[in-house]
Amino acid sequence: MTKTKWTNIKDIIEGNKTGKKINIRGWIYRSRSSGNIVFMVIRDNGGILQATIKKGNLPDEDFNDAKKALIESSLELEGVIREDKRAPGGYELKVSNLNIINFAEKFPIVKDQSPEFLLDKRHLWIRSQYLNSILKVRSTVVGAIHKFFRKRGYYEFDAPVLQPNQCEGGSTLFQVKYYNNKTFLSQSWQLYAEAAIFSLEKIYNMGPTFRAERSKTSRHLSEFWMAEMEVAWADLYDITEIAKEEIKFIMKEVLKQNKSDLEYLNQDIKKLEKISKSKFPTITYTEAINILKKHMDIDWGKDLRTLEENKLMEHFETPVVVTNYPVEIMAFYKPKDPKDNKTALCFDMIAPGGYGEIVGGSQRSLDINDMTNRLKEMGESIDNYDWYFDLRRYGSVPHSGYGLGVERVVAWICGIENIKDAIPFPRTVLRFRP
Ligand code: ATP
Ligand code: MG
């Protein structure tokens, strides 16, 4: 028995199969029939293709099946590829054989349904061309991050997901019962990464990260993927430059691999190309406040939230690095700037177009006393951090790191309104199903 050779639709719409007899398999994306002819649009992971099924060109039984089959039925088709300017994608399949694998029931998703309904049916909506395009971009972004760090000699290092400590503030912790004890889901790999740099020096990781974000915003998920890096001997300036390079590298990879997806999502490719080749500015928090003062009443010391970040970004076309936020609003491990004691050696990178913070990082404090005081102020039990302070006791070195929100970057590059569509099955304060 010879094994069937399956052709991917991508290969067909790239023009490589014109005039050839081929076999494809996939799902019915659209279908309409009149009398003795059925027009189907078939989809597979490479795209969509029109199939013309004419009575007489295939066994009658197959033709009747084609007439009966509802959208999302799975099937195999055989036929010849012809160019046809009127067909979506420019090609059509003249079908000579058809085999329905599964006759789908009536598909519950039809046009113009509410976002909430689509989230309830996420397991089916994930087949849409819209999510298909975003998920392909996401796959490229994830691959690009690995490639970026590995090319530069970083090691991939994994931290535990169940952790006894908080890293980013107690209010967003998810508690997990742990035998007769309790632990928390990881808010960051950072504290463990700081242990590992004494062995590997340059490390990165990408993994699920959990924060109980109680306010509903279009930028916050309760479970998201953070791509983090930590590096020995590096200062704040060093890591801001690496973060800029990383974002540009990701953008270039997406432009190389996902042009048709970006087109489907109506993204301005020229604009993205320009960003991928631009220099991203660095400003201080104080400079940002001075820009904002022209538009709003804002005092030095206030954190930059969505409103302020969006206003600030009206002045920029590329992402911007903002450094030196006020110490008071920063996590315990962010050190004071010796040149400006009111601010910390930290940064956020903010994306243009209202997408907000995409990267956040800092130099790490080396001062056990200062960190102890700040943790105490937050009501933390110091005993839990003694292992972490050991890292300052045995061969401490300057070091820095940052975290990049994978979904924030995907949402920005794809131009999607809500971060929920940048992850396959979103978890938010109101949703953890399906
Ligand atoms: P924000 O101020 O937007 O809440 P953050 O300061 O809490 O962000 P960091 O702790 O610096 O964020 O985390 C690093 C990166 O992880 C952020 O720059 C962002 O891209 C991403 N991130 C943080 N929280 C979330 C979340 N709840 N959902 C999705 N991405 C997030
Ligand atoms: Mg936050």
Residue indicated by tokens 């978890």? 427
Same domain, 162 and 14: no
Q: Is 240 a domain residue?
A: yes
Same domain, 225 and 272: yes
Q: Is 402 a domain residue?
A: yes
Q: Is 36 a domain residue?
A: yes
Query: Closest ligand 1 atom, CA of 357?
Result: 18
* Cα 166 to the center of its chain, rounded Å: 24
Give the pLDDT confidence score for residue 351 in this predicted structure: 97
Query: Closest ligand 1 atom, CA of 168?
Result: 10
Q: Which domain holds residue 75?
A: 9-102
Instruction: Write the CATH number for 201.
Output: 3.30.930.10
Closest CA to 369 of 377, 359, 360, 357: 377
Same domain, 79 and 53: yes
Query: Parallel, antiparallel, or unpaired for β 155-156 and 202-210?
Result: parallel
Q: Whose CA is nearest to atom 23 of ligand 1?
A: 405
Q: What is the dihedral of CA 381, 383, 385, 387, to 10 degrees?
A: -170
CA–CA distance, 198 with 193 (Å, rounded to integer): 9
Same domain, 300 and 172: yes
DSSP state of 210: E
The strand pairing partners of 403, in sequence order, are 228, 360
CA–CA distance, 218 with 22 (Å, rounded to integer): 45
Q: Is 359 in the pocket of ligand 1 (CB under 6 A)?
A: yes
Same domain, 272 and 361: yes
Q: Is 224 in the pocket of ligand 1 (CB under 6 A)?
A: yes
Q: Which ligand is nearest to the CA of 321?
A: 1
Give the pLDDT confidence score for residue 222 in this predicted structure: 97
The domain boundary, picked from 75, 102, 129, lies at: 102
Residue indicated by tokens 């300057």? 398
Average pLDDT over residues 23-38: 96
Q: Is 374 a domain residue?
A: yes
Instruction: Write the CATH number for 80.
Output: 2.40.50.140
Average pLDDT over residues 195-208: 98
Give the pLDDT confidence score for residue 166 in this predicted structure: 78
Same domain, 353 and 390: yes
Same domain, 257 and 284: yes
Q: Is 230 in the pocket of ligand 1 (CB under 6 A)?
A: no
The strand pairing partners of 225, in sequence order, are 208
Per DSSP, the three-state class of 124 is helix
Report the domain count for the chain. 2
The 10s digit of each residue's pLDDT in 316-344 is 999 999 999 999 888 899 999 999 999 99
Same domain, 231 and 309: yes
Is the pLDDT reported for residue 378 higher than 90?
Answer: no
Q: Is 235 a domain residue?
A: yes
CA of 408 to the centre of ligand 1 (A): 8
Residue from 138, 185, 224, 285 to probe ligand 1 pocket by mutation (most atoms less than 8 Å from CB): 224
Helical H segments across 155-300, by residue range = 190-200, 236-257, 259-264, 269-277, 285-293
Q: Which ligand is nearest to the CA of 305?
A: 1
CA–CA distance, 337 with 23 (Å, rounded to integer): 65
The 10s digit of each residue's pLDDT in 257-304 is 999 999 999 999 999 999 999 999 999 999 999 999 999 999 999 999
Same domain, 150 and 211: yes
Same domain, 98 and 127: no
Same domain, 202 and 289: yes
Per DSSP, the three-state class of 390 is helix
Give the pLDDT confidence score for residue 1 in this predicted structure: 61
Give the pLDDT confidence score for residue 66 in this predicted structure: 97
Amino acid at 409: V
Band of pLDDT at residue 381, cut at 50, 70 and 90: confident
CA of 243 to the centre of ligand 1 (A): 15
pLDDT averaged over the chain?
A: 96
Average pLDDT over residues 195-209: 98
287-295 contact pairs (CB < 8 A, 24+): 288/312, 288/322, 291/315
The DSSP string of 3-32 is PPPBPPHHHHHTTSSTT-EEEEEEEEEEEE
Tokens representing residue 350 in the block: 């903010």
Q: 126 and 415 in contact (C-beta within 8 Å)?
A: no
The domain boundary, picked from 52, 69, 102, lies at: 102
The 10s digit of each residue's pLDDT in 158-169 is 999 999 887 787
Is the pLDDT reported for residue 70 higher than 90?
Answer: yes
The domain boundary, picked from 72, 102, 132, lies at: 102
CA of 224 to the centre of ligand 2 (A): 12
The DSSP string of 344-395 is ESEEEEEETTTTEEEEEEEE----HHHHHHHHHHTT--GGGGHHHHHHHHSS
Q: Whose CA is nearest to atom 11 of ligand 1?
A: 360
Query: Closest ligand 1 atom, CA of 228?
Result: 14
Helices then strands, each counted (H, E), the chain = 14, 18
Band of pLDDT at residue 212, cut at 50, 70 and 90: very high
Is the pLDDT reported for residue 206 higher than 70?
Answer: yes
The 10s digit of each residue's pLDDT in 82-103 is 999 998 889 999 999 999 999 9
Q: Is 428 a domain residue?
A: no
Q: Is 83 a domain residue?
A: yes
Q: Is 351 a domain residue?
A: yes
Same domain, 85 and 180: no
Q: Whose CA is nearest to atom 16 of ligand 1?
A: 405
Tell me what percent of the chain is helix, strand and coil, each rounded to the nearest 5.
35, 30, 35
Give the pLDDT confidence score for residue 88 in this predicted structure: 87
Query: Closest ligand 1 atom, CA of 361?
Result: 11
Residue from 141, 226, 312, 332 to probe ligand 1 pocket by mutation (most atoms less than 8 Å from CB): 226
